[in-house]
Amino acid sequence: MKRTKVIDALKCTAYGSDINVKGWVRSKRGSKGIFFIALNDGSTIKNIQIVGDDANFDEETLKRITTGACLSVVGKLVESPAAGQASEIQATSIEILGDCDNTYPLQKKGASWEYLRTVAHLRPRTNTFGAILRIRHNMAMAIHTYFHEHGYFYFHTPLITASDCEGAGNMFQVTTKNLYDLKKDEQGKIIYDDDFFGEQTSLTVSGQLEGELGATALGAIYTFGPTFRAENSNTPRHLAEFWMIEPEVAFLDQEELMDLEEDFIKYCVKWALDNCKDDLEFLNKMIDKTLIERLEGVLKETFVRLPYTEGINILQEAIKNGKKFEFPCNWGDDLASEHERYLVEEHFKKPVIMTDYPRSFKSFYMKQNQETADGGSVGYKGAVAPGPTMQGTDVLFPSIGEIIGGSVREESYDKLMAEVKRRDMDMTHLWWYLDTRKYGSCPHAGFGLGFERLILFVTGMQNIRDVIPFPRTPRNAEF
């Protein structure tokens, strides 16, 4: 008999017909010679109940039906008398496809998040992680659908690169060399002429620079793939391997970029509300009782557009009124998550797009605002800052802080080179990037969205390690 997925069996109203379902046992109980099995195959958060008479089944078979065991059940689909479920299956035959003994790590209820990370190969079978992974799939579909419908092209950027997009140097090296027998020159520097690529290469921290090349040819592109940061960071918001979405668009200015950021993220949130109802209701009940309300709130609100300088003034006023922050927030400081969340959750109570950051802590490729005679700059909507600022457009979200980092890119070769020289950057491996400013340069802009941070927001989870199947963090590369 052809298998029916649990999600379809629960919707089926052909009562009295025979049906075959397969899945894993979530629980089994018995009463007065009748057994009840909760079976789940991952297609939905909901289990289907299997009911049977002990007398109709071999005793040895019934003993083997334990939590975690894999079954194939054939039976009659009937209306269920129990509350909360429309149908159940009266079993006529049960085949055990896979036994599960009493060492199964998911036997106990209420396991901690920390414990579940140690059994990441099994935690997708839990209700919570099944819900998270189905939502993760839906968010990926939303992203591809949004950009396809808006005329963007999916552009594949390399994972192995000789350049460092951010200039931070926190990169994982890629090599075929014997690390115990490295060739070095007289100065002690490693010689890579016998390595696979003939030069030092690393895993990418971003596909942005190559994405800009795509935008100058195709007009509007997006990347969606893994990126890698070798930062020894053990916070709930950082991973060594994560997925990034990075659109790059020709002929886009700062205002249009912010429109894109807001429209895109609202589209993704609406997709989740429209397509992940059961999973969101489960997470709203079990993880975060304000989750659905917060997601719906994002759709209702117009995002605040806030120059960095004005944001600093708001934070300093809050400090004068008794607000305590762990980190400083003077003009020129890179804002910490606590500052971003204060602006979003307490002051404005809605998402914020912060613009026009100081040049001192932003990347070299960002477009600089018009400088004033006194060394300051005029930025978004005529806002005057005390120092040079860049046309950044970062989206700040409740519970998360920064969820998108974006900017207008500097299209002028002379201005870009002036910034490169000011920072004393080595552009040897980025000659091709500079070429785009020499050969038909155009205004363009883009942003990067950390996929796992989007999943954090949509699911209400608190740790980024719990929204990716197999997290890669310092001293952890298992599974």
Give the end-to-end CA distance of the chain in Å, rounded to a whole number.
35
90 and 151 in a single domain? The answer is: no
76 and 151 in a single domain? The answer is: no
- Regions of the chain with pLDDT less than 50: none
Q: Are 216 and 249 in contact (CB under 8 A)?
A: no
Q: Return d(Cα 439, Cα 437) in angstroms, integer.
A: 6
Q: Are 407 and 393 in contact (CB under 8 A)?
A: yes
Assigned domain for 115 exists:
no
363 and 441 in a single domain? The answer is: yes
Assigned domain for 137 exists:
yes
360 and 317 in a single domain? The answer is: yes
Domain boundary, last residue among 83, 98, 113? 98
54 and 16 in a single domain? The answer is: yes
147 and 88 in a single domain? The answer is: no
Q: What is the pLDDT, as a whole number, of residue 253?
A: 97
Rg (CA), the chain: 27
Assigned domain for 200 exists:
no
Q: Which residues contact 348 (CB under 8 A, 6 or more apart)?
A: 304, 306
The length of the chain in residues reads 479
231 and 273 in a single domain? The answer is: yes
Q: Which residues of 414-445 are buried (b: 16+ CB within 10 A; e: fewer)?
A: eebbebbeeeeeeeeebeebeebbeeebebbb
Mean pLDDT of the chain, nearest integer? 95
Q: What is the pLDDT, as a whole number, of residue 450?
A: 96
Q: Are 400 and 372 in contact (CB under 8 A)?
A: no
Q: Which residues contact 174 (CB under 8 A, 6 or more apart)?
A: 160, 197, 201, 202, 203
> Which amino acid makes up residue 62?
L
Assigned domain for 177 exists:
no
Q: Return d(Cα 176, Cα 65) in angstroms, integer.
A: 49
- Cα–Cα nearest to 312, from 330, 334, 336, 337: 330
Assigned domain for 186 exists:
no
410, 414, 419, 423 alpha-carbon torsion, rounded to 10°: 140
Q: Return d(Cα 272, Cα 266) in angstroms, integer.
A: 10
237 and 343 in a single domain? The answer is: yes
Assigned domain for 111 exists:
no
211 and 283 in a single domain? The answer is: yes
Its domain, for residue 222, covers 125-170+205-466
233 and 94 in a single domain? The answer is: no
246 and 361 in a single domain? The answer is: yes
55 and 92 in a single domain? The answer is: yes
Q: What is the pLDDT, as a whole number, of residue 399?
A: 86
- Cα–Cα nearest to 5, from 134, 102, 103, 111: 134
Q: What is the CATH number of the domain that holds 414?
A: 3.30.930.10
Which three-class secondary structure string do you get for the chain?
CCECCHHHHHHCCCCCCEEEEEEEEEEEEEECCEEEEEEECCCCCCCEEEEEEHHHCCHHHHHHCCCCCEEEEEEEEEECCCCCCCEEEEEEEEEEEECCCCCCCCCCCCCCHHHHHHCCCCHHHCHHHHHHHHHHHHHHHHHHHHHHHCCCEECCCCCEECCCCCCCCCCCEECCCCCCCCCECCCCCECCCCCCCCCCEEECCCCHHHHHHHHHHHCEEEEEEEEECCCCCCCCCCCCEEEEEEEEEECCCHHHHHHHHHHHHHHHHHHHHHHCHHHHHHHHHHCCCCHHHHHHHHHHCCCEEEEHHHHHHHHHHHHHCCCCCCCCCCCCCCCCHHHHHHHHHHHHCCCEEEEEEEHHHCCCCECECEECCCCCEECHHHCEECCCEEEEEEEEECCCEEEEEEEEECCCHHHHHHHHHHCCCCCHHHHHHHHCCCCCCCCEEEEEEEHHHHHHHHHCCCCHHHCCCCCCECCECCC
Q: What is the CATH number of the domain that holds 65?
A: 2.40.50.140
Convert the pLDDT of each residue in 386-403 to its tens digit: 999 999 999 999 888 899
In the sheet with 241-250, reading across from the earlier edge strand, the strands are 153-154, 220-228, 241-250, 444-450, 401-409, 389-397, 352-358, 304-307
Q: How many structural domains compose the chain?
A: 2
Assigned domain for 195 exists:
no
Q: What is the pLDDT, as a whole number, of residue 7?
A: 97
Please state the pTM of the whole predicted model: 0.94
Q: Are 127 and 88 in contact (CB under 8 A)?
A: no
Assigned domain for 62 exists:
yes
**Rounded to 5°, angle at Cα 371 from 365 and 372:** 170
